[in-house]
Structures are given as structure tokens and as C-alpha cells.
Amino acid sequence: MMSRGEIADALQGLLRCSVERDRPLSGLSTLGVGGWAECYAEPTELEDFLVLRRFSHREGLPFHVVGGGSNVVFADGPIPGIVVSTRRWNAVRWLPREDRVVADVQAGHALASLVAASAKRGLTGLEFALGIPGTVGGAVVGNAGAGGRGVGDSLEEVLSAEPDGTLRRWRTGEFSCSYRRCSLSEPGRLLLSCKIVLGLAPRGEIEENMERFRSARRIQPHGGRSAGCSFKNPDGESAGRLLDRCGCKGMAVGDAVVSDSHANFILNRGRATGGDVLSLLRACRRRVFERTGVLLEPEVRFLGWLYAWDGEPAANMGNEMDEGNETARRV
Ligand code: EPU
């Protein structure tokens, strides 16, 4: 097994971007919790992503991808292996096609920027994503959405780095998306870019659509540090409403607290740790199960843990852009 110094040195010789050792991660998540990556890189070139993926595959190292950090709970302490951020891989090209426009977007592009730029260009299809934080890559992996719509609805093509470091293009029909799920979200796969098909519409109509989605988010907490909705909605029900009815608002572990305005949001009110957030998620889930019999499934993803959920491997819990989430640490 290579030491982290040897890993960083070996990688540095292969990459154009720099490799950082012991990179603190909390600043890369909207929740603001977590430890540090033993080996961290922010590639700006395709080849660097492929080299990183290939290297970790060959050396048997855990491989994690971080997008916008808006749906992830990092583990506390050192996170072994390689953490790759897509945030500097963020170009977008607008390709006209008959009565449509295709946005060819790299994974690290902020979803909010894409929504704003689309509206400005008179393009419709992404209004529902207004107010959703994070990157386009993360949005695809988790099929981010609102009001019954998701990024997957307009997705035409996805380019990925496969676990062995080869490049693969997925076309319509070769993948599928459903509520908060994309079939391409597999351990070890890194989504690099995608094509999103947008229609043309009058500005007024786009604005109206956006206003509708804006008002749907009014009860969500604004401004605090959170990772968005903690749990997926079970069939036909709102997780937030269930958590609220079970009296979860205000529950806290350390500095992690359930929001008073929307019970499906956990806020970091100061110095919360990843462990605090995880314990609070478990306590909420247990309470809802005991009182209603509904077992909520987390929507947030867990990066760097050995066992995150009552001994279940964290990979069963879904994950942000962190493909190598197979190992999680029990807290
Ligand atoms: N409600 C309560 N108490 C609460 C929270 C909600 O009574 O603490 C009630 C609301 O008053 C409303 C109902 O539950 O009558 C549904 O709430 P809301 O409209 O907020 O929708 P949601 O199902 O909780 C979903 C998505 C959000 C998305 C909103 C708006 C999930 C898990 N959540 O929330 O997405 O922004 O709809 O479209 O699918 C996310 O995925 O991170 C996320 C925030």
C-alpha cells in the first residue's frame, strides 16, 4: 500500500494540475462539516481526470468526486484515497439545433448559472432548477429536481470516465433517470459532461415558470449552512411533513439542528461535525419510523465514511458525485 506522500508524488508526476495533501474539505460543502482529503486535485483538463481515475483503479485506492458540495456530508478526520473536485471543469457551449438549443456543459458548471444563462437566452426547460445549488454533474448524478421535474428529463447525452479510466459516451436510451436517481450514478464512475436540450420560449413565460418554482421554495430555510433536503420523499408523501409531524423540528446533535422552517433541512449552526449530522439524521429517521412505520431514505450523500447507516454500506445510501463511496466509517 502506498503512503499518501508516495501517492501524491506519483500523481504529481502524471498530472498538469497540482495535487494537494491533507486538503480541508468542510469549505467545499454547503453544510461546512468534515475532515480532510489525504490527496486532492481540481483538474482543468480531461486527461487529468482520466489519469486520476486510472491511477486510483490501478492502485486500488478509494476514489471520490466532489461537485458543488451541496448534497454531501463529509466524514470527519482523514479521508484516504483521492478526492477529485470538478469545480474548475466548468465550460459550457450552446449548440443551436433546429427549434432547440443544446447546452453542452462540463460537470463542474454551477447549475444556478446554467439556469440564469438559459433564461437570459430565452431557453426553457430548466426553470424548475431555480434555487437548486450545486453543479450540473451533481445534479445529473442525483437527478436533482423540484415539482415533479428533474434534470434527467432534458438530458440527451452524458460523457463519463469509467472506473478503469476509459472514456464513455452514453446516449439517450442507454441511461434512465427517475426521482432523485440516475442509472449512471455507479460507484467508480465520474460524470464529465452532458448535453441538456432546451426549447425556445418567450421571456415572460420563462419568468412566470421561474416565479412558480421560486414560491414553492419559500418555506425552505435561506442563508443557513445546509445540504438541502436530507431525505427523499417516500411515495406520495413529503418527508418534510412527516418529520415535522413527528416533532423533529429543533432536534439537535451538537451544532447540527433540524430547521424550524422546513423539517427536512439540517442546519449547521456553528461547529457541527459530520458525526453530529449523521447522528441527527439517524435520530430523525428512527423517530419517524417508530411513529409512522415509514423508513426514510437519505437524499444527502456520504463521502469518506466506513459505515454510515446502522452498519449498511454507505454506497446503498446513494451518493453525491462521490463515486467511491463504498467505504464509510462508523461513528
Ligand atoms: N411541510 C410541513 N412541514 C415541514 C416541511 C413541509 O408541513 O417542515 C409541508 C408543506 O407545507 C407542504 C408539504 O409538506 O404542504 C410539502 O413541502 P414542500 O412543498 O416543501 O415540498 P417537499 O416535498 O418537502 C420537495 C423537494 C425539494 C424541492 C421542493 C419544492 C424532496 C425531498 N424535496 O420538497 O427539493 O425544493 O419539493 O419543489 O424531493 C432537495 O431535493 O434537496 C429539495 C430541497
Over residues 186-201, mean pLDDT: 96
Furthest C-alpha separation in the chain: 59
Domains of the chain and any CATH numbers: 4-85 (3.30.43.10), 92-217 (3.30.465.10), 223-330 (3.90.78.10)
Q: Is 248 in the pocket of ligand 1 (CB under 6 A)?
A: no
Q: Is 275 in the pocket of ligand 1 (CB under 6 A)?
A: no
Q: Tell me: the pLDDT tens digits for 5-30? A: 899 999 999 999 999 999 999 999 99
**Which distant-in-sequence residues (6+ apart) come within 8 Å of 33 by Cβ?**
26, 73, 74, 76, 256, 268, 272, 273, 274, 276, 277
The answer to whether residue 299 is catalytic is yes
Q: Is the pLDDT of residue 319 over 80?
A: no
Q: Tell me: the pLDDT tens digits for 252-262? A: 999 999 999 99
Instruction: Report CA 313 to chain centroid distance, whole Å.
Output: 18
Q: CB of 132 within 8 A of CB of 138?
A: no
309 — pLDDT class (breaks 50, 70, 90): low
- Catalytic residue, candidates 23, 53, 180, 225: 180
User: Which atom number of ligand 1 is nearest to the Cα of residue 239?
Assistant: 24
Q: Is 216 in the pocket of ligand 1 (CB under 6 A)?
A: yes
User: Which atom number of ligand 1 is nearest to the Cα of residue 259?
Assistant: 8
Q: Tell me: the pLDDT tens digits for 138-173? A: 999 999 999 999 999 999 999 999 999 999 999 999
CA distance 187 to 79: 17
Q: How far is the CA of 238 from the centre of ligand 1 (A)?
A: 6
Q: How far is the CA of 237 from the centre of ligand 1 (A)?
A: 10
Helix (H, G, I), strand (E, B) or coil at 38: strand
CA distance 194 to 192: 7
Q: CB of 89 within 8 A of CB of 192?
A: yes
Q: Tell me: the pLDDT tens digits for 34-43? A: 999 999 999 9
Residue nearest to atom 15 of ligand 1 (CA): 241
pTM for the model stands at: 0.93
Q: Tell me: the pLDDT tens digits for 212-231? A: 999 999 999 988 999 999 99
Q: Is the pLDDT of residue 68 over 50?
A: yes
Q: Is 263 in the pocket of ligand 1 (CB under 6 A)?
A: yes
Q: Is 241 in the pocket of ligand 1 (CB under 6 A)?
A: yes
